Amino acid sequence: MVENRGLNYWLTHVGLSFGVLVLFFPLWLAFVASTVTNSEVIHPPMPLWPGDQFFVNYGRALIEGDSGQTSASVARMLLNTVTVALGIAVGKIVISFTSAFAIVYFRFPARKFFFWIIFLTLMLPVEVRILPTYEVVAGFGMLNTYSGLIFPLIASATATFLFRQFFMTVPDEIVEAARIDGARPMQFFIDILIPISRTNIAALFLIMFIYGWNQYLWPLLMTTDPSMNTIIMGVEQMIGGQDDVTPWPVVMAASMMAMLPPIIVVISMQNLFIRGLTDSDK
Amino acid sequence: MSGLILKNVKKSFGKVKVIHGIDLEVEDGEFIVIVGPSGCGKSTLLRMIAGLENVTDGDILIDNLKVNDKEPMDRNIAMVFQNYALYPHMSVFNNMAYGLKIAGLPKSEIAERVRQGAIMLELDGLLDRKPRELSGGQKQRVAMGRAIVRQPVIFLFDEPLSNLDAKLRIQMRIEIKSLQQRLGTTSLFVTHDQIEAMTLADRMVVMNEGVAEQIGSPMDVFQKPETVFAAQFIGSPAMNIIKAVSERQSLKLVNGTSLKCLTQSNGDVLVGLRPEDLKPDKKGKIVMNVKLFEPIGASTILHGTLNNSDTKIVSVVQGLLSPKDRLSEMSFSISPEAIHLFSRDTGKRIVN
Amino acid sequence: MEKRVYFKGWFLPALLITPQLLITAVFFFYPAGTAIWWSLFNPDPFGLSTKFVGFANFDYLFADSYYKESFYTTAIFSSLVTLFSMGIALYLAVLADRLIKGAGIYQTLLIWPYAVAPAIAGILWMFLFDTQTGLISWYLGLLGYDWNHLLNETEAMGLVIVASTWSRVSYNFLFFLAGLQAIPRAIIEAAAIDGARFWRRFWTIIFPLLSPTTFFLVVMNIVYAFFDTFGVIHTITKGGPGQSTTILVYKVYSDGFVGLDLGSSAAQSVILLIIVGLLTILQFKFVEKKVHY
């Protein structure tokens, strides 16, 4: 690398730090707002330094939500969100891994056809077919259920595609060696393919978990029963209309709790996460 | 009793025929090397024997049993791959033991077999390591260990040495040979390297474009190549091939030079002269316009053309030529026994 | 691309592929097919009967000034979000890439907004710009600027663009940084020895070599701006004021779920489907090319 010297070096740091601060600013204010009283927030300017209401606001959000008007308690919503995010991540990985295995490692009639069927779903998000999907889920009586929240969101091939790409990079000789060692397809699958894919599985798990956690439109339509709310849509529900008074500190406490789990996951496993993300570039 | 028999084995991928019918009977304990340029079908042939490719036509018999439709594991074979194909997530021990575990052997026996194999290959200190913690030579040994512990009827080697550096390749070559002699297991070894073929083989199969050009001991192939291809593929530098017209035992080379030989024939032929059989001789009839001297230590390789023609020829002269001996025109003689004759139509050796 | 080796049999692979096939059939193909089907019908308001109308829903849409406006809004919105989020990300990535030490720390400090849901991003920014209590709008008021994104269309558009950009910068930054770090150092060093100064090196060497990443990101950001920003818009403006921030996906939602105009909503879905389909094809063409790159 061509080294920076003197002034340039410091300008680089100043530029980056400025970017970091701008990105950080809304998060900081949200945190501050979650630690002060409502009257401090609604009489501008709001403070820039945390107050002493941390436990009051977080406690209220966790246990009461917005006092049962339109949303459930944050604790309940977090439970729902964890369930849905795990369901989406696990479900998607399981169905994608097995079908990618079938497509890559077998020759069977109509394989090409299935291949294209599955790949047609690439990149077409649930938003595009939202109304008919709603009808289908309603028809199954799956409104306000976890499965109704999960299944439509795993009906796409992104993960299948990524696993296929990865399987293609596994040397043929590994399969041949396994066959000579006498491994049946499922033995190869369990003893060899899953272990050598574990980094990819983990990376995809992270991405899918965050994807599931951050779902908004679908839970918004699906869950008319507040006890099935997920946290992301639930926070929005806590904000009052124009006439209502919004309990901002509680909303911001709920927002913080909605953001922090995925933020912690991303930061603590960032190498794995980045690898999974940039692999999808291929 | 014969370990392996191939009867008119053929292979096509769709309409493309890649192997045109190979017959081979391998004696028990024999070391067979299949050698040929890339794309000649040698690896495909090996993979058919392993059961990794289907046989289009013909039969493969192992231990006198037809195995065409058997799964690899039911054929009693073991295979060593070019890129080793070790399972990256398993320790050396588990890599070697995996096949035995699937076969359902008792744990104690697996441990014993792996231990013996590891000692034989000097891997006993490495059993807990993962493949990524091993050097190229060690990976190669593990790949062989995995084959040995299965105690197969046949070892199959698919260019196992080509990923190693030159020095290690020679060392492993010697190890493979001595191991095979110790175990006495029938072995098939695929390579494109004629030196590996010469040094390892009891018999070798020279393959070209899906055809076995010659099957025989290394010395047979070297001394009596049956085709122009075999003649040029085995031996380094490659045999000189010169167009000529023959009348009984006298030859007239393309540049007009006359030579005597022992083989009788009439008409258009190809004359094969090994570079090392061309002896410098001031009165020699074969005159070469030398373009380049390549000293390689014990000997010097001379590149040039046959005078009055553009036919390229090469010769190998013992020792380092001093500058005053490096003439732009040099004469060589060759003894009549060392002249090989091939039909110009079929490329086959002419014998009487 | 095909594997040379494979297993035989059809039952096991069929079994393995069934779950995905079932789920995609029920939750993807059936609804997508239904959308196409509905787009050709005009259900009466009581839901008692439907009438086949051919392409009338589409004709109606293309004649509808609201829909055309929504197209225009989407175009402005997604191009500005793409431009800003990629521009800022590239700038930050170039700076981070210049550091020999410390790029990792900045990566950590810049990566986290990716984990924030667009809807939450919308709430954070709405909070800052809230017309009554927002900190930034209050300071703007001090400067004599009366901020009100609930009434002013340009301000509304500006705010959703800012929030969407904020939540997208991280993603682009990660890809740009990875792309920059994949450029062989020797090339950059050679350019430096040839006497090229930094920005000249950047535009003549680095940026062209980065073009595969850039192209990939353009497509991904357009898709993001088309769909994922629903949360931002729904939390901040609900498509308003008027229709000024109603992008296409928001209109599908509001016409379908709020307006209950199934035929029109379905026709809009089909149009979106086609747009994303085209983007996907573009992406794949590019992926194929990149293999040789």
Position C228 scores a pLDDT of 87
pLDDT at position B83, please?
87
What pLDDT was estimated at residue C102?
A: 76
| A169 interface with B at CB cutoff 8 Å | no
CA–CA separation, A185 vs A202, rounded Å? 23
Token duo for residue C242: 């008027």
- Alpha helices, DSSP H only, in chain C? 11-24, 30-38, 56-63, 65-98, 103-111, 118-129, 135-142, 153-181, 185-193, 198-201, 207-209, 211-223, 230-236, 248-253, 262-292
Contacts of A20 in chain C (CB under 8 A): 106, 109-110
In the numeric block, which tokens belong to residue B318? 């013992």
Question: How far is residue C52's CA from residue C40's CA, in Å, rounded to a whole number?
Answer: 6
Q: How far A201 CA sits from the closest chain B CA (Å)?
A: 15
Strands B286-295 and B299-306, by their bridges, are: antiparallel
A95 domain-assigned: yes
Chain B residues with CB-CB distance to A174 below 8 A:
85, 87
The pLDDT of residue C286 is 66
Instruction: Yes or no: say if A79 and A146 are a contact pair by the CB < 8 Å rule.
Output: no
Q: For residue A171, what is the nearest residue in chain B, using CA coordinates?
A: B85
Question: Are the beta carbons of C133 and A38 closer than 8 angstroms?
Answer: no
CATH class of the domain whose range is B2-233: alpha beta
The pLDDT of residue B342 is above 90: yes
Residue A51 inside a domain? The answer is no
Contact present, A196 and A170 (Cβ < 8 Å): yes
Alpha helices in B121-217 (DSSP H): 136-148, 166-183, 194-200
Superfamily, domain C65-292: MetI-like (1.10.3720.10)
Mean pLDDT of chain B: 90
Percentage of residues of chain C with pLDDT beyond 70: 93
Q: What integer pLDDT is reported at residue A195 of this predicted model?
A: 93
Return d(Cα A218, Cα B345) in angstroms, integer.
77
Cα distances from A133 to residues A87, A128, A130, A136, A147, in angstroms, run 18, 10, 5, 5, 13
Judged by a CB distance cut-off of 8 A, whether residue A178 touches chain B is: yes
Q: Which of A12, A128, A167, A274 is best to mutate for the C interface (most C CBs within 10 A)? A: A128
pLDDT of C131 higher than 70: yes
Quick check: C95 contacting A, CB < 8 Å?
Answer: yes
Residue A48 lies in a domain: no
In the stretch 194-223 of chain C, residues with CB closer than 8 A to chain A read 198, 201, 213, 216, 223
Interface test with chain A among B101, B114, B157, by most A beta carbons within 10 Å? B101
How confident is the model at residue C184, as a pLDDT?
84
Any A CB within 8 A of C132 CB? yes
Average of per-residue pLDDT across B60-77: 87
The closest alpha carbon to C110, from C158, C191, C168, C64, belongs to C168
**Subunits close to A (at least 3 CB pairs below 8 A):** B, C
Give residue limits of the domains in chain B: 2-233, 240-343
Give residue A115's pLDDT. Answer: 75
Higher pLDDT, residue B108 or C7: B108
All residues of chain B having their beta carbon less than 8 Å from the beta carbon of residue A187 are: 102
Give the range among A144-148, B311-315, C145-149 with minimum mean pLDDT. Answer: C145-149
Whether C33 has a pLDDT exceeding 80, the answer reads: yes
Average pLDDT for A82-93:
94
β-bridge pairing B31-35 and B186-191: parallel
Do B85 and A171 count as a contact with CB atoms less than 8 A apart? Answer: yes
Chain length of chain A: 282
Written as six digits, the tokens of B189 are 């070894």
Report the alpha-carbon distance of residue B163 to residue B158 in Å, rounded.
Answer: 11
Average pLDDT, chain C: 84
Tokens of B280: 């410098």
**In this structure, what token pair is assigned to residue B60?**
């493969």
**Would you call A171 and B83 a contact, using CB atoms and an 8 Å cutoff?**
yes
Could you read off the pLDDT of B102-118 as tens digits, one per residue?
A: 988 999 999 999 999 99
Question: Is residue A109 pLDDT above 90, yes or no?
Answer: no
Instruction: Read off the pLDDT band of C293 (50, 70, 90).
Output: very low
Mean pLDDT of C225-244: 87
Segment C109-120 shows an average pLDDT of 91
- pLDDT in the model for residue C144: 83
C213, burial (CB in 10 Å: exposed 0-12, middle 13-18, buried 19+):
buried
Write out pLDDT tens, residues B127-136: 999 999 998 8
Is the pLDDT reported for residue C45 higher than 60?
no
Tell me what pLDDT residue B273 has.
Answer: 92
Q: Is the pLDDT of residue B183 over 70?
A: yes
Residue A2 contacts by C-beta under 8 Å, 6 or more apart in sequence? C188, C189, C192, C198, C201
Determine the pLDDT at residue C291. Answer: 36
**Of the candidates B81, B89, B102, which has its C-beta nearest A183's C-beta?**
B102
Q: What is the mean pLDDT of residues C226-244?
A: 87
Contact B115, B121 (CB under 8 A): no
Cβ(A225)–Cβ(A44) below 8 Å = no
Has residue A282 got a pLDDT over 60? Answer: no
| Domain membership flag for residue A23 | no
DSSP B278: -
Q: Does an H or E element contain B318, and which?
A: strand B312-318
Average pLDDT rounded to a whole number, residues B260-266: 85
Instruction: Specify the number of domains making up chain A.
Output: 1
Q: How far is CA B219 from CA A90, B198, B204, in A?
A: 63, 8, 10
Q: What does the DSSP assignment read for B61-122?
A: EETTEE-TTS-GGGGTEEEE-TT----TTS-HHHHHHHHHHHTT--HHHHHHHHHHHHHHTT
pLDDT score recorded for residue B220: 92
- Whole-prediction pTM: 0.84
CATH number of the domain to which A213 belongs: 1.10.3720.10
Q: How do the domains of chain C map onto residue ranges?
A: 65-292
**Is any Cβ of chain B less than 8 angstroms from the Cβ of A176?**
yes
The boundaries of the domain holding residue A156 are: 66-279
Candidate ranges A168-182, B214-228, C35-49, C181-195; pick with highest mean pLDDT: B214-228
pLDDT(C188) > 50? yes
The 8-class DSSP code of residue B210 comes to: T
Query: Would an 8 Å CB–CB cutoff place C281 in contact with chain A?
Result: no
